[in-house]
Each structure stands twice: as C-alpha cells, then as structure tokens.
Structure 1
Amino acid sequence: MDTTLRDGEQTSGVSFLPSEKLQIAKLLLEELRVDRIEVASARVSEGELEGVKKITHWAAEKGYLDCVEVLGFVDTPASVDWLTEAGAKVLNLLTKGSLNHLTHQLKKTPVEHFAAIEKCIHYANEKGISVNVYLEDWSSGMRHSRDYTLELIAFLADQNVKRVMLPDTLGLLKPAEVAEYVGLVSEQFPEVHFDFHAHNDYDLSVANVMEAINHGISGIHTTVNGLGERAGNAPLESVVATLSDFTTVKLNVQENKIYRISKLVEQFSGLHIPSNKPVVGENVFTQTAGIHADGDNKKNLYFNDLLPERFGRTRKYALGKTSGKANILKNLLELGIKLEPEELSKVTQKIIELGDRKERVTTEDLPYIISDVLQNNSIKKDISIEGYHMTHSKGLKPTVQLKLKFKDQFYEAHASGNGQFDSFMLALQKIYKSLNKKLPKLTDFSVSIPPGGKTDAFVETVITWDYGRIIKTKGLDSDQTVAAMMATEKMLNIIEQIDSGNRA
C-alpha cells in the first residue's frame, strides 16, 4: 500500500493540489500498479475532500475504488460520514496501539477505547465501508505496554476488520525488534492480516521492512521518494528493489515506471531528490571512476543487479578528473564520434583540467571540447598568453595587465577600455604596435553553452576575424572573457602562420 498522498503529504512544506493528487493516484494504480493507495485523512479540509472526490470518481469508473483508502478517527459518526460524502469505501481507522498514547492523549481506559472502536467499525460497515485498523505507536506499545497492545489485537481479531496495520510511528525500532515483535503477533494471531508501516528516523526503514517480510507480515506501506513526517517513510523505490532482489516475494509493481512517478512527485512536492538517493537519484547509475568504465568494457565487471534499465533509466559515465579514457570512450560512443589516440589523450587531459577546477562536464559538452582540441592541434603555437590581471569595478573603467610570449620573447602592456575583453584587445594592440604588426578586424563575437544548460564547466566563445580572409576561432573556459582571450590566442597563431607563409 502506498501512502504518498496521505502520510507523504505530512512532509513539512508539502501539500498536493486536488488535481495533483488525482494524477499521482492514476500513475500509482494504473502504471506503477501498487495494490492499494491511501489518499487522505478525513475531516482535514475542503480541499482534501475535493481531492478525494476526484480520486474516488475516477477510481469508481476504472474499477479501483476498493483500492482507495482514507485515514479516519474513532469519532463516530464524523469520519465515516466524511468518507461517505467523499465516495470512499475503505476506512483506515486510527486507534491507539500503546497504553501511553491512550492514557495521556485520549485519557481513556482500554475498555472505553475498545467500545468506541467497535461502535465505529459497526457504523462503517452499516454504511458499506470496509475497515482496516492502524495501531498508532504500536512499536512503543510492544516495548512498554505489550499486554495492552496484544489485548487490542485480540479484540480486533474478533471484529469485522480486513487488516491490522502496525506502524513504527516514531521510527524507533531496530531490525531485531521488528523481527521479534512481528514474529510474535504473526504467531499468536495467524488468522489476522498484518501490515507494517515503517518510518525512517534512523535510516532503517528498508531494513525493518525486510525483517517484517521475513517474519510473517502480509502487507507493507511505502511512499514515493520516502516522503513523510520527520525523516519520512520507507521509500517505495528502495523497498521494491530490495524485495525483488533479496526475497521470494512477488510484486505487482512495475519497476520500469518508478522513475517516472518519482520525478512527478518531486515536481509536485517541490522536494528535490538527493542525487545519491538509491534507485531514483540522478547519480546512482553514473560511473565516475575510469577504472569502472574500463571494467564495464571488460565483461561488465562493475555491474550489479540494480540495472538502470529495470527502472526506466540508462547507465551514464561521468566526465571529470577521475574519469579517464574509458569513460570518455563510452560518451563518444553515445555521440557516434571516434578520435585518434593522440586526440583522445588531449581531450582526456582537457577534461581532467576542468575536473581539477571542480567544474562539471556533461556528454553535451564533449563536441565543444573536441572542436577546441582539434583546432588547437591544427595550429602551430608560436604565441601564447602567459599572464593577465583583470579588474572590473563599479564606477571605474575595466583594466587588463597582459603578458604575451611571442616566440622566445616576452612583452607586457596595460590598458583600460569599455569592458574586460576590450581592455585586453587594447593592451594586445599596444604590444603588436611595438612589433610593427597589425591585428585583424573583429567582425563577429558569439558566446554559447552546450545544449541543455546543465554544464558548469565552460562557455564557448566564437570570434570571426577579417585578415584579408575570414578566420574563425573558438575558445573554451568557465569565464566568458578568458574564453574570448583563448580564441584570440588561436587567431594570433593563425595569422603568424599566414604571415610566415607570405614571407617565405
């Protein structure tokens, strides 16, 4: 049973619109094919009522109405009447599973509470509503008031109840306790269908679900992306993967739809999925180390059973300082590009340099890097920018101090202009004037980033020059001005080759 729309909505700051609830409900039942969904708490608001009505109307038309559940309270007739108005047919009745909650929150005796529960179940059944029962704070009850908790289960076993649901409300259980407590109630009450509802306060929810499954539980509760109060609930994506791979349990859930609904819930909830979150995180199917990509090329040495295709995803190979040639080859293969060994080495070195600066390179960046490397390969480098210092202050003209190496000599110049690149060009003109050399005319200047906008590694600057013939040069850097300077450096070497050829 997935409770994203009820317990998941108790995440701080998360509130789904009625239309959003309907879209999530449709995906959960029709595409993901979970067995049941819990969609709301009774009597919360008019918006909640509207949302449940939308879902039950759709579910009735599609034959899913018995799969739609609503949390209600021991408050006969209020919650049951609310469900009736909403068109729901399944009540998840919240009772007190620990003596501590019963005594200090409800201030009732067990006899009084049991009588009120029985009255609510009877009234719901009269209205054509089936009942499941939550034992709120069941985990604390088993720890500190076990006699009361077992007495409540024994009482419910004689009621017209479909399921008794055991929540670790405070997320306090360790796996050994889950095994003990679930094993105990399953053995004592073999005729009762028990659900387990885990919270993730100690990051043990998936481990606890595993223990519950191994000790006789019949149903489990999850939320998409692990949404829920405090640290959240057992995440659907991790539970499905774990049960599929480590138990003999057969699930109806369609794994290849998990990522799609995960991203939709991320969008509707406004809560970003951590990039390293298992199954649905952005990076969990990305190999970063080059040795891993190399191993994947040699009999998939770094694959495990969590293949990305299971979840509607693809494996990626990150580009950075640790990626190496194997990762780059994987990305080039995706782009249909083949490089010569020397070119591949230079592309690798460029990516390592970017990674050392903690800049992120994507597959979309590769054509830009390759273009830059290939252009560099074709140009004899007699001239290089050896140093620069740029200033840009409000109310003052930008300035550039430039150090240029021309063959074996060094030249310096300082200039102020209308921008940093203009200042750089003015300083360059001073150096070239001292050498009795001319610079070409700049006729076009464009800046772009790779498509998709996901890079933080660089921008590409393309400059068109007129030197009696059209010359187009490119520069790559994370700084737009530096990229333009790199493009200019290429131009200086090209025109030096042209002049040398003319002199010859």
Structure 2
Amino acid sequence: MQLQEIRLSKKTNKLEQDLYNYKLQDVEEPELFREMFPYTKTPKIAFNYRRVPENMPKDIFITDTTFRDGQQSRAPYTTEQMVHIYELLHKLGGKNGMIRQTEFFVYSKKDREALEKCMELGYEFPEITTWIRASKKDFDLVKSIGVKETGVLVSCSDYHIFHKMGLTRAQAMDKYLGIVKECIESGLRPRCHFEDITRADFYGFVVPFANELMKLSEESGVPVKIRACDTMGYGVPYPGASLPRSVSGIIYGLQHYSGVPSEMLEWHGHNDFYKGVVNATTAWMYGASAVNCSLLGIGERTGNVPLEAMVFEYASLRGTLNGMDTKAITEMAQYISKETGYDIPPMTPYVGDSFNLTRAGIHADGLMKDPEIYNIFDTERILGRAPRVSVSNTSGVAGVAYWINAYLGLTGKDKYKKDSKVVKYVFDWVSKEYEEGRITVISEEELKAKTKEAIEKVG
C-alpha cells in the first residue's frame, strides 16, 4: 500500500497531500494516443473536467525565435538584415527588456557573423542565445563565441523517441541527461526544448524527465530551463481539457509535480489549428514566465506565435506596455517586407496593409464622426498608422470624403464635408467608373489625380 505524503508546499505555503511521485514508464510499445490523434481523421479534443488553478507569474515576458525557427520557412536573412532586425527587437523591447532573449543558429558563416555583430552592439536585451545540435563540439563552439545559454533538443513524445530516434524512453532519458550534463560542464546554461510535448506521455515521460532535470539543476547550481514545445499546434486552452493537449495542464503539471520555477518555464507554440496566440496567453496565465515568438509569426508550416501579437496580449493583461515601443512593430514589418521581399498578407493584424483599412461607406462615415467607432485603438499613436479607407463602389460619399481629408492632412474646420463640391466631384467620377463596368478598387494614384483636378475645377 502506497503511503500518503503530506508536505508543506513552498509555492502555496499550504500542506498538500500528494500520492504520486512519478517515475519513468519505460513501455515496450509507443503511446501514440491513437484515439486522440487518429491521423486519418481530425484530431480530437477530449475532456476529463480536471481544472487547475491559474498562477500568472509576477514577471512575464517574450522571447524571440525569428533567427532560428523564423528562418526555417523562408529565404534566409542576410547578415545586415539580421543585425537591423535585432536592433529593432531591442527598440521594441524597451529598457525593461520585455523582449528578453533571441536565439541564433551558429552553423553557417553568415549566422555566426550576424550573431557576433549583434553581440558587438552591447545590448543587454534581447540576450543572444543559440540552438545547437547536442554535441560537445557544438557546446565548445558556442562557449567560444561568448554565448551563455543554448537550446538543446530533447524530443519527448513517443512519435519521436520510438519512430524518429529508434530509442526506448529509458535510452532517450539517459541520452538527454548526458547531453545536458555536458552542456553544464561546458559552462553553458541549458534550455531544454521538450519537442512535441502535446503528444507526449505526460506522467510516463515528461514529468519524470523534468524531475531529473530539476535535480541536476539543484546539484549543479545552474538553472535548467524547460521550453514546452507545442510542435504541431495540438495544444488547447480550454479548462478541463485532457492531457497531453491541455496547455494549462502541462504548465501546472511541470510546476506542481516537477517543481519547475516560472522563470525557468517557457512556452513555444505553433499555429496549425489557429490557437497559437491563445495558447501562449494561457501558458502565461497558468505559470510560464516566457512565451517564445517570431516576428510576423513566420515559422515552420503555419508559423509560430506572432511576436507583435503577444506585445498587445501583455498590454491587455497588465494594463501597460512596460516600456515597449510599439511603433517599432511597424518599422519591422515595413523593413522585412521591403528589404526581404516577404509578402505580408494584407489582413494580418497590426502589420498588414489593410488591418485598419475600411472599405464600407457606412464605416467610413463613422470614422469621419469619431475614429474610435471603427478603429481598434489609436493606431496612429500606438503603431504610427492612421486608420484608412479604400474607395470602391461600396465606399459611398463618406468614404470619398474621408480619403480626401486624410490624403490632404485636413483636420477640424478645414476638413471637406460630405456635401462639398470637391467631394461630390470625386464621388461622381467614382460612381461613373463603376456604372461603366469597373470591378477593381480605385488606386491611390487615380484618387490623388482626381482630387487635384476637383480642387482646380470646383474647389
């Protein structure tokens, strides 16, 4: 009969009864959760109605993977581009280091040059870290560059352990612990990437492995971080959802059963099922200090958690930007688009060309009366981008008036009203265009020319 252990929790300062000290379950056959992940059908979200307490840390922040995961699905950045983007990350993060870290590859000459040039800038934040293969040679390479922390891949689902690496769970754990020890012996702080955690046997492998890492951290005096990687985007934020897909369950379990401190716990999500942002926010709310993101969400397959999204999630949760310069988001988007040729989808929140653009005349009329009616916040003040309207067959006279006033920079009493001769002249021309069969939006150049013509003739 198993004895019940009652102990005083250092976290809650309450006596807690815990029957379980999870040990590694070295199974003969892989646990693939086939009922949940049938592969030939849509994955299923199961519920067991077990809810865990929210536990948002005092210090929550963002880490960046633009130069690592963000480069795995696009043309690589040049050295100069990486340095400039790093400078913008520093600007966005502000003096309080809200963008706490960013990670680099170190295998190509270009990546090493970029890393070294970024280090030469002398910024405290974002701290430069790396992601490397798990070998002594690579540890020594990173140490020689002057980096203090590196990511180490420690895949934790049986999909990876059995089917990718051809190991048993015991063999995988022994291998991983040996790698982490080598990392520590090389003078580096290890950040363990628990790949595919949302398809892993949480109590049979994840928790026992995390327990060993925390023991190793305590014995060595070196912090060992755990990055919970939702590699396939299977995580769900719903209270009462079952493991291994429950984000709150994963974060709570790593803290409660393995004693992982919030500051050593990080969430890395993907957006395969459109849950990247809400899962990252859930990780914050249940105890992870860090959420790992990439600029514009660029990353493997459907992408990572967009860094700019979590900037506004932070502000929404805490009521402050804590020193972040949000206009740097616009600078980053424009730079990446113009300098690298990356095509940002126009509807992308905060950064797309159309994110605060209205096409409907009734909306334009509202914007004329009060921008707050149809603009999510003061986008001009916060992002350096004033709300805009496009002119088409649905814009109406209000849309034409709004466009003309914005183009000419007119405010207050100087603005053209909807019944002005200039507005009517341009509106009549727009209406005629569509009456004659036009199906495209009126271009900025056409509107500029027609506005100039209207002012000269009737203004």
Aligned to 2:17: none
In 1, the alpha carbon distance for the partners of 2:177 and 2:362 equals: 64
Aligned to 1:203: 274
TM-score by length of 2: 0.73
Does residue 180 of the first structure (1) align with residue 249 of the second (2)?
yes
Aligned to 1:238: 309
Aligned to 1:278: 349
TM-score by length of 1: 0.67
Question: What is the identity, as a one-letter code, of the residue corresponding to 1:40?
Answer: F
Give the C-alpha shift of residue 373 in structure 1.
5.1
Aligned to 1:86: 145
Tell me the alpha carbon deviations over residues 434-476 of structure 1, each in whole angstroms, 9 at most, x when there is no partner: xxxxxxxxxxxxxxxxxxxxxxxxxxxxxxxxxxxxxxxxxxx
3-state SS of 1:104 partner:
coil
Q: Answer 1 or 2: which has greater helix percent.
A: 1
In 2, the alpha carbon distance for the partners of 1:338 and 1:273 equals: 33
**Runs of at least 5 residues in structure 2 that lack an aligned partner in the other structure:** 1-62, 218-222, 239-245
Count of residues in Structure 1 that have an aligned counterpart in Structure 2: 370
Matches within 5 A, 1:90-239: 90-141=149-200, 144=201, 146-160=203-217, 161-176=223-238, 177-192=246-261, 193-239=264-310
Aligned to 2:366: 295
Does residue 70 of the first structure (1) align with residue 134 of the second (2)?
no
Q: Work out whether residues 290 and 324 of structure 1, in 8 Å CA contact, stay in contact via their aligned partners in 2.
A: yes
Higher relative CO (CA 8 A, sep ≥ 6), structure 1 or 2?
Answer: 2
Question: What is the identity, as a one-letter code, of the residue corresponding to 1:236?
Answer: L
Matches within 5 A, 1:309-320: 309-320=381-392
In 2, the alpha carbon distance for the partners of 1:250 and 1:296 equals: 26
3-state SS of 1:96 partner:
coil
Does residue 25 of the first structure (1) align with residue 77 of the second (2)?
no
Aligned to 1:369: 450
Does residue 56 of the first structure (1) align with residue 136 of the second (2)?
no
Q: Work out whether residues 224 and 237 of structure 1, in 8 Å CA contact, stay in contact via their aligned partners in 2.
A: yes
Question: What is the identity, as a one-letter code, of the residue corresponding to 1:172?
Answer: Y
Question: What is the identity, as a one-letter code, of the residue corresponding to 1:137?
Answer: D
Tell me the alpha carbon deviations over residues 360-382 of structure 1, each in whole angstroms, 9 at most, x when there is no partner: 3355533421455578879xxxx
3-state SS of 1:221 partner:
strand
In 2, the alpha carbon distance for the partners of 1:282 and 1:312 equals: 13
Tell me the alpha carbon deviations over residues 405-442 of structure 1, each in whole angstroms, 9 at most, x when there is no partner: xxxxxxxxxxxxxxxxxxxxxxxxxxxxxxxxxxxxxx
Q: Work out whether residues 74 and 95 of structure 1, in 8 Å CA contact, stay in contact via their aligned partners in 2.
A: no
> RMSD over aligned Cα, in angstroms?
2.8
Q: Answer 1 or 2: which has greater strand percent.
A: 1
Give the C-alpha shift of residue 37 in structure 1.
3.5
Aligned to 2:379: 307
In 2, the alpha carbon distance for the partners of 1:344 and 1:99 equals: 66
Tell me the alpha carbon deviations over residues 323-382 of structure 1, each in whole angstroms, 9 at most, x when there is no partner: 12222222332314748634532321212344561333355533421455578879xxxx
3-state SS of 1:277 partner:
coil
Alignment CA distance shift 1:94-1:286 (3 Å):
same
Same amino acid, percent of matched pairs: 21
Alignment CA distance shift 1:223-1:367 (3 Å):
closer
3-state SS of 2:373 partner:
coil
3-state SS of 2:193 partner:
strand
Question: What is the identity, as a one-letter code, of the residue corresponding to 1:285?
Answer: N
- Asked which structure has the greater CA Rg, the reply is 1
Give the C-alpha shift of residue 231 in structure 1.
0.7
Alignment CA distance shift 1:199-1:263 (3 Å):
same
In 2, the alpha carbon distance for the partners of 1:145 and 1:189 equals: 11
Question: What is the identity, as a one-letter code, of the residue corresponding to 2:306?
Answer: P
3-state SS of 1:106 partner:
coil
3-state SS of 1:175 partner:
coil
Alignment CA distance shift 1:124-1:346 (3 Å):
same
Q: Report which stretch shifted further, 83-92 or 29-38.
A: 29-38
